[in-house]
Amino acid sequence: MKKTKMSRRDFMKAGLLTTAAAALGPVAFKPTGLWAATPNLKGPIKVGYQAVLSGTLAGYGAFHNMGVILATEEINAAGGIAGVKLEVEFRDSTLAAPEAIKNARYFVDSWGADFLGGIDSSGQALALAPVMAELDRVLMVTHAATEKLTEEHVFKKGIKQVFRICTPTYQDSNAAAFVAKDLPVKTWSTISPKYEYGYTCWEMFKNTLTKFRSDVSFIADSWAPFGTTDFRAHINTILDAKPQGFYSTEWAGELISMVKQANQAGFFEKVKHVMFPVGAAMDVLEGCGPELPDNVWISGRYFFLYPDDRRNNDWVARFRKRWDHYPAYVSETAYSTFYAFKKAVEESGSKDTAKVIQALEGMTFESPAGKRVFRKEDHQAMYNVPWGLTVSNPKYPFKVMGKQIVIPAGECFNRPPFEGPGTKPPF
């Protein structure tokens, strides 16, 4: 893989894209806010981005990078941020917290980054939060989903430098419960990752669903350690319990393996109602191909067919033209991160951290995934991602969402102060 710092060839491609970009996204590129009046920003705006580029999840880093490069090319082709050039450096975060911290310190203290973005693992995000307070730069988290980041570090401890542009665990569990309450299922089961993410989501799913319906029970759970490739024993465990419904927060390659092995065991004929909160990830849809059955509930942090409006469809087309690939959800969150920074800088007329934080808090902005609002209290981006039933479509070589249900973020996300009555859905 190439370094993100743009090579000459990238610039030429960017040139070709300029026309398209300038024509297609005119609203976003118009100078607005304070900058329009006082265009006095100095030097390039530097964004340090990190995501996992090595090991079994390296594909996610590659998808992040596609979104990062596309955003950089488009923004610079249209005149940069507040008239100054955008510079990006991309580093391998691996999955280890010390590595993420080292990268962040390098970006800020050595390279001179104004903003940071990225981060896949929840552990890394939590470890980075106090460091961001020390470094005093805005970090936009684009993949890590733990609700502890925004609830505890941002809201309770007041680390204002951290924002999150992707949906957190609320989407995976609370929104799932909204869908599950209307299914004819009384007994639920799970195979989930044997780490915090898996435990938290299952717990939240159970709690929210129980509030809706008193007649459901949760009869089997089987936990797969990180790196599991053989799910056959887990699948047997679930089949023995004979549940009506199955919920699994397995994701990426492990979800692909599990789906294939479940298919071989005839799992989907026995368990009719299946929910995969991160099943709508591109790598999963493509990796499973036809082996992902129809009529499975899937969701993600963004799905390229939603919203079905001009902004999103144009973006998907531009993305496909640039990369010959459908955008993964991390591509979208990475891409939108840069437009969030752009808007915040142009509105505040400064790249000063305190001013940008002020601009970002409560800021509304348009992105391929639709309208996003950064909630002031916990810096969580509020936007809607659908849950949908898988269906075959001859237009695509993989399953896509057919019937979709949108649970508005305002309905299914926990609300500040996150403790006490009325903070957890249903409201």
Partner 1 sequence: MLQSIVHVCLAGLSAGMFIWLVASGLTLIFGVLRVLNFAHGSFYMLGAYFCYTFLRFMGENFWLGLLVGPLCVCAAGFAMERFFLRYVYHLALPYQLLLTFAFVLLFDDLVKIFWGAGSIGSPAAPGLSGSISVLGRNFPVYSLFIIGVGPLIAVAMWVFLERTWLGCIIRAASSDREMASAIGVRVPALYTGVFMFGTWLGAIGGGLAVPYVGLLTPGMGETIIIDAFVVAVIGGMGSLKGAFLGALVIGLLSSFGTRFIPTFDMFLTFILMAVILVWRPQGLFGEST
Partner 2 sequence: MVHRYLTYGLYGAMAAVLIGIGLFSGRFMLYMTMKVMILAIFAMGYNLLLGRTGLLSFGHAAFYAAGAYGLGLVSLHLSSHPLLGIFAGLAAAFVMALVIGFFCVRHTEIYFAMLTLAFGMMVFSLIWNLRSITGGDDGLVGIMRAPLDLGFFSIPLRKANHYYFFVLFFFLLSIFLIHRIRQSSFGLILAGIHENDRRIEFAGISLRNYRLAAFVISGVFAGLAGTLGTLLESNTAPFSAHWSYSAQPVLVSLIGGIHTFAGPMVGGLIFIVLREIIERFTHNWMLWFGIILLVIIMGFRGGVVGALSGFAKQKKTASTEI
Interface contacts to partner 2, rule CB under 8 A: 1-3, 53-54, 90-92, 95-98, 101-102, 105-106, 109-110, 122-123, 126-127, 129-131, 146, 148, 153, 157, 194-196, 199, 226
Residue 392 lies near partner 1 (rule: CB under 8 A): no
- 32 or 54: whose CB is closer to partner 1? 54
Q: Which of residues 157-186 bind partner 1 (CB under 8 A)?
A: none
Residue 227 lies near partner 1 (rule: CB under 8 A): yes
CB 205 within 8 A of CB 176: yes
At 69, which amino acid appears? I
- 199 or 398: whose CB is closer to partner 2? 199
Q: Cβ 377 to partner 2, closest distance in Å?
A: 19
| Strands of 86-92's sheet in order across | 86-92, 45-51, 115-118, 138-141, 162-164
Q: Are strands 370-374 and 381-382 parallel, antiparallel or unpaired?
A: antiparallel
Q: Are strands 364-367 and 245-247 parallel, antiparallel or unpaired?
A: unpaired
- 19 or 54: whose CB is closer to partner 2? 54
Q: Using the Cα atoms of residue 371, residue 376, residue 378 and residue 379 in order, give the sign of their dihedral.
A: positive
Q: Using the Cα atoms of residue 174, residue 329, residue 314 and residue 14 in order, give the sign of their dihedral.
A: positive
- In the list 25, 45, 48, 59, the residue contacting partner 1 (rule: CB under 8 A) is 59
- 54 or 229: whose CB is closer to partner 2? 54
CA 79 – CA 326 distance, rounded (Å): 26
CB 180 within 8 A of CB 222: no
Q: Where does residue 11 fall: left (phi above 0), alpha (psi -120 to 50 degrees), or beta otherwise?
A: alpha
CA 427 – CA 129 distance, rounded (Å): 29
Q: Which of residues 270-309 bind partner 1 (CB under 8 A)?
A: 283, 286-289, 291
Among 191, 184, 150, CA closest to 169: 150
- In the list 35, 63, 178, 335, the residue contacting partner 1 (rule: CB under 8 A) is 63
Q: Cβ 328 to partner 1, closest distance in Å?
A: 9
**Partner touching 90 among partner 2, partner 1, none, CB below 5 to 8 Å by kind:** partner 2
Interface mask toward partner 1 for 184-203; x: CB under 8 A: ----------x---------
- 236 or 423: whose CB is closer to partner 1? 236
Among 176, 167, 165, 233, CA closest to 202: 176
CA 271 – CA 291 distance, rounded (Å): 16
Q: Which residue has the tokens 């007649």?
A: 215
Q: Cβ 121 to partner 2, closest distance in Å?
A: 8
- In the list 182, 230, 294, 352, the residue contacting partner 1 (rule: CB under 8 A) is 230
Q: Cβ 73 to partner 2, closest distance in Å?
A: 18
**Binding segment toward partner 1, per CB under 8 A, in 22-30, 148-156, 227-235, 367-375:** 227-235
Interface mask toward partner 1 for 233-272; x: CB under 8 A: xx-xx-xx-----------xx--xx--xx--xxx------
CA 323 – CA 188 distance, rounded (Å): 40
**Partner touching 14 among partner 2, partner 1, none, CB below 5 to 8 Å by kind:** none
CA 253 – CA 227 distance, rounded (Å): 9
Among 329, 317, 322, CA closest to 283: 329
Q: What is the CA radius of gyration of the chain?
A: 21
**Partner touching 253 among partner 2, partner 1, none, CB below 5 to 8 Å by kind:** partner 1
Interface positions with partner 1 (CB under 8 A): 1, 53-59, 61-63, 194, 221-222, 225, 227, 229-230, 232-234, 236-237, 239-240, 252-253, 256-257, 260-261, 264-266, 283, 286-289, 291
